[in-house]
Structure 1
Amino acid sequence: MKTVGSHLAALLSGGTKPHRQLLPFVRYVALLVGFVLLYGVLFHVIMAWEGQDHSWFTGIYWALTVMSTLGFGDITFESDLGRAFSSVVLVTGIVLLLVILPFLFIRLVYAPWIEQRTRGRIRGLQSVPAQVAGHVLICANDAIALGLIRRLELAGVPAYVIEPDADLAMRMQDAGLPVLVGEIDSVETYRAAGAAQACLVLANASDTVNSNIVLTVREVSESVPVVALAEVEDSIDVLELSGATHVLPLAHQLGEHLANRVSAGTAHANVIGKFHDLLLVEFPVHNTPFQGRTIRETRLREFTGVTIVGVSERGRLQPARPDLELSPLSVPAGIGTPEQIEELNDVLVIYDANPNPVLVIGGGKVGRAAARALKRREIPVHVVERNPDLEPKIAGIPDQLILGDAADRRVLDDA
């Protein structure tokens, strides 16, 4: 029911368990009528004692005006007894009309109306529209989900986040996020979500939950692509055996990506992707012959065969224009065959040698992955970690582990 009035009309017409819901209201009306009649009688008694004469309806009218706190003042008592009686009537009216009546309205009309609207919203969030196909299902609401939804919107691909908590799901919908209500390890959830018609299911919860998600989705569809995120590398095989099409160890990949951005050791091209037989790489220009030159002036394609396709600087990716000058902070992205990339490394290896160790602040999953990647490049690594419980996991990876808070300058000096 869309309005409070429609719910009240249904309540009065007996459409929603009328006897049980209307009983408190009937009792309240009977009590209110009883007080009005009682006060009307006492009004005449006291008025007769004061020597005033009024009709019986006037007594009812006076009781209602005083109890409702209107108090027009056209009829008043002259004695202290009458004024005391007026005070009692006024207090009774405040309790009955300003306290109990709103409470009954909220309990009998407004709260059931809100509950019915909530149930209706939840029913609408338990499935995707029948015409939806080629959509993406995201199994957990996190930063990855929010960023992915925005990018999919730009590509015109519908996406839905599956949220078990109905209240949170409604808040997400109010915030403009496409959401479905359901348990992420329930077959019925994925049937209602149209998993068989989806173009992708993203399992982005914990490794254990992701395994259950993959197995559940496979009960609905054997062909829908399922991408699972792995927190630890040991979970990759388990997720693949569960039926995941692709497994992404994001923390590990992020650590390696950060390690590739470090200007330490000898300069070289870092592979960040692959397209058929071509490798996508990024490389530094700091203290190399490319620094201060435009892309045309580097003549990189002529010497090595590698083509610069983009340039990242201060976290922003720019298109590779021939007249774009490469600054010391520029990190070009290039594409070429493995042999061409090796020729580029032969050019870079003699430049930008930096023997100083790399300081990694934080020995969590990403920090450990970055430290391992740097050690594979034979670059000295020092790690600062303030949680002593992580010491067993970090031990053996860096050349030096410093336990302490990186906000303390003495800790950084020791590192």
Structure 2
Amino acid sequence: MWGLRKLKSRVLRFLLGLALLASAYCLVFMALMMWEGNYQEATPITAVYWVVCTMTTVGYGDVVFKSAEGRIFSTLVVLSGVAIFFAVALPIIVTPWVERLEQTMPSKAPNDMRDHVMICGYSPVVETLIEKLDRLRIPFLVVEQRWDVARRIRQKYPLVYGDPSERQVLENSHIHSCQLIILNYNDEANADILLTVREMSNKEVIVMVEDLSRSRFLSYAGASRVISPKTLLGTFLAQITSPPREGVFPGSVQLFGNLLLVELPVFPGSPLAKESLNDPRISASGARVVGLWQRGRFCPRPRPDEQIRKNSVLLAVGDSEQLSRLRKETISLPAQGKLLVIGYGDVGRRVVRVLCDWGIDPVVVDRRDIEQPGFSFILGDGTDEELLEKAGIKDAVGVLIMLNHDPDVIYSTLIARNLNPEAFIVARANQAPSATKIYRAGADYVASVPLVASHMLFKMIQGLGEELTILFEGRELIKLEVGRSSPIAGQSLHEADLFGRFRTTVLAIDRQGEVISQVDGRTMIYPGDILAVTGNQASLESLTRWLRQGRLSKIRHGDMRITVPTRPDLKD
């Protein structure tokens, strides 16, 4: 077990250090004995005997120093022996063993656990995924071999402590009755686990990797699907900051037929900047704006006179042609200026590759030297103000901050916003809680790696594929089929007042194959209608509970449950 190996490593390091210290004491002992003229006692065997007796405070007294220097040395050896036991040996060796005896880890799943999702390896990604599974009451089991991690989560989640590459651990986790298996360790450990799984079962296995270039080896080992959230995230971030391509809407969500829900950033210089939502160019596009992100605050049903600020994000519904017309109004005309990518790690590398494939030459800043990069590159720290000025941040249209450590992301965002108030800043959050601080630092769009990864896994568990569809955290989408006895059947949207009662918004209606995208308060609701409704988790749960009491026919969670980049609710 990983915890046992760690304990053994501690013991070995402790014993090695103790041996080195004892050897030094032996040398000093022999030197002092010879200095006193007691050559008979100045032997290695006597030295070892004296050091052991003195450090363990046995003190037989048959070998003693006569000089003051020797007695001072004896005192130091005794004190060091006591200190080593209480300050080193006790917390490093004794305490962990006692804790292991006191805390017996679960080694087997409950007997009645069936159709569960088996997750091998806990991480922030898994924590976010578990929240989604728990909301829909999908059973899950975490298999964890690291003692410290298992001890931390044993009271929170169903857990089996053990090495998932061992057959008995997989048997104890009910591998034969699980729904699917997710592997979330490093590539080498995942391959080891995967081979054991394939000896026992043909269940679907989803493997998470850092780099998709290594995915073929895991496929050879028997992986059903191999996903790289960082690769997909990098592609998505490159798409939303680069010049738009006709008919391509990154992260779009299909509602009904060809009706899409998309996010459209309003870039500096856009004709819509400083205009209101009742601007005739918006209505002329045919698309409908159903939400608005401004200054980090989401408005689920913005007023027609709401002003659109630069670097806002419009949430719009329409078909491809309508949304293309609206998007033309959200970009700067002409769109000039460079794209600056700060950080060339896993996500940053993917961002740059996608931009270069589209003929865009970004300026990349990274502290690691890159040989023959094929793009503009500046070596240095992405949190260095002078370096960023040298890279041309003041003239950049967009800045993508892809650093690996959130404190660096926050600081770099502060610098970027200060040097270029007009730029559209996209940042990567490596931990979900950091997203709020990054927004406050001045980012216009933040994508959290754990949220993206958990969202992808959740869709795959529901059988919805692995395409990356993006909506901000806290905004979810469900589809409701209205039954004959539903309390909203035969009412208009104004009469149903779903927004006033539950803070939910109807985006569109599918009426026996006819898609109604332009909905307002006068739109009627009839039995058999399928409503696409968005809201936060609490509001949607309140709505579905109320509708179930009225015998609503179906609530289709499987069509989409969306979360991903976080937008904190900031004050103006």
Q: Is 2:122 the counterpart of 1:141? A: yes
Letter in structure 2 aligned against 1:271? P
Corresponding residue number in structure 2 for 1:285: 266
Aligned to 2:342: 361
**What is the CA distance between 1:220 and its match in structure 2?**
3.8
- Aligned pair count reads 292
Aligned to 1:250: 229
Match of 1:396 in 2: 373
Taking the TM superposition and a 5 Å limit, the aligned residue runs for 1:3-14 are: none
Partners of 2:97 and 2:298 in 1: how far apart?
54
Instruction: Evaluate the alpha carbon distance shift between residue 178 and residue 409 of structure 1 in structure 2; reply closer, same or farther with a 3 A threshold.
Output: same
Among candidates 141, 153, 165, match of residue 172 of structure 1: 153
Amino acid of the residue matched to residue 288 of structure 1?
A: S
Partner of 2:389: 413
Q: Given that residues 266 and 352 in structure 1 are in contact (C-alpha distance below 8 angstroms), is that contact kept between their aligned partners in structure 2?
A: no
- Cα distance in 2, alignment partners of residues 243 and 396 from structure 1: 35
What letter is aligned with 2:209?
A
Per the alignment, residue 38 of structure 1 pairs with: none
> Match of 1:332?
314
Over 3 Å counting, the alpha-carbon distance change for 1:163 and 1:282 in structure 2 is same
Distance 2:209 2:153 in 1: 25
Distance 1:201 1:413, change over 3 A: same
Q: CA deviation at 1:233?
A: 2.4
Tell whether 2:179 aligns with 1:199: yes
Which residue is 2:351 aligned to? 370
Change (3 A) 1:337 1:221: farther
Q: Unaligned 5+ residue runs, structure 2?
A: 1-94, 392-572
Change (3 A) 1:413 1:216: same
Q: How far off its partner does 1:190 sit?
A: 2.5
What pairs with 1:111-190 in structure 2 (closer than 5 Å)?
Answer: 116-118=101-103, 121-122=104-105, 125-174=106-155, 176-190=156-170
CA 1:274–1:242: 2 relative to 1, 3 Å: farther
In structure 2, how many angstroms separate the alpha carbons of the residues matched to 1:330 and 1:303?
Answer: 20
Relative distance call for 1:306 and 1:285 in structure 2 (3 A) is same
Q: Does residue 382 of the first structure (1) align with residue 382 of the second (2)?
A: no
Secondary structure of the residue that 1:270 maps to in structure 2?
coil
CA distance in 1: counterparts of 2:288 and 2:222, whole angstroms: 38
Identity of aligned residues (%): 27
1:256 is paired with a residue whose SS is helix
User: CA 1:146/1:112 → structure 2, altered by over 3 Å: closer, same or farther?
Assistant: closer
Distance in 2 separating the partners of 1:411 and 1:111: 48
Residue 135 of structure 2 aligns with an amino acid whose one-letter code is L
Q: CA 1:346–1:410 in 2, change beyond 3 Å: closer, same or farther?
A: closer
- TM-score normalised by structure 1 residue count: 0.59
* 1:365 to partner: Cα distance: 1.0
Q: Which amino acid aligns with 1:204?
A: N
Higher fraction of helix: 1
Deviation at 1:347, TM superposition (A): 5.3
Match of 2:211 among 205, 227, 232: 232
Aligned to 1:20: none
Q: Distance in 2 between matches of 1:211 and 1:266?
A: 39
Paired residue secondary structure (1:271): coil
**Quick check: 2:265–2:313 contact (8 Å CA) kept in 1?**
yes
Residue 255 (structure 1) shift = 1.5
Letter in 2 for 1:205: Y
How far apart in 2 are the matches of 1:209 and 1:220? 17
Change beyond 3 A, Cα 1:285–1:154:
same
Q: Distance in 1 between matches of 2:193 and 2:380?
A: 39
Normalized against structure 2, the TM-score is what? Answer: 0.44
Larger radius of gyration: 1
Give the deviation of 1:195 after TM superposition: 3.0
Letter in 1 for 2:152: R
Contact 2:109 2:174 (C-alpha < 8 Å) held by counterparts: yes
Q: Distance in 1 between matches of 2:167 and 2:202?
A: 13
Q: Is the Cα contact below 8 Å between 1:173 and 1:179 reproduced in 2?
A: yes
What is the CA–CA distance in structure 1 between the aligned matches of 2:176 and 2:225, rounded to whole Å?
17
Asked whether 1:208 is paired with 2:188, we answer yes
Q: Does 1:270 align with 2:249?
A: yes
> By how many angstroms is 1:386 displaced?
1.0
Higher relative contact order (CA 8 A, sep 6+): 2
CA drift at 1:366: 0.8
**C-alpha separation in 2, matches of 1:279 and 1:308:** 12
Rounded Cα–Cα distance in structure 1 between residues aligned with 2:280 and 2:178: 46
From the superposition, tell whether residues 191 and 317 of structure 1 become closer, same or farther in structure 2 (CA, over 3 Å): farther
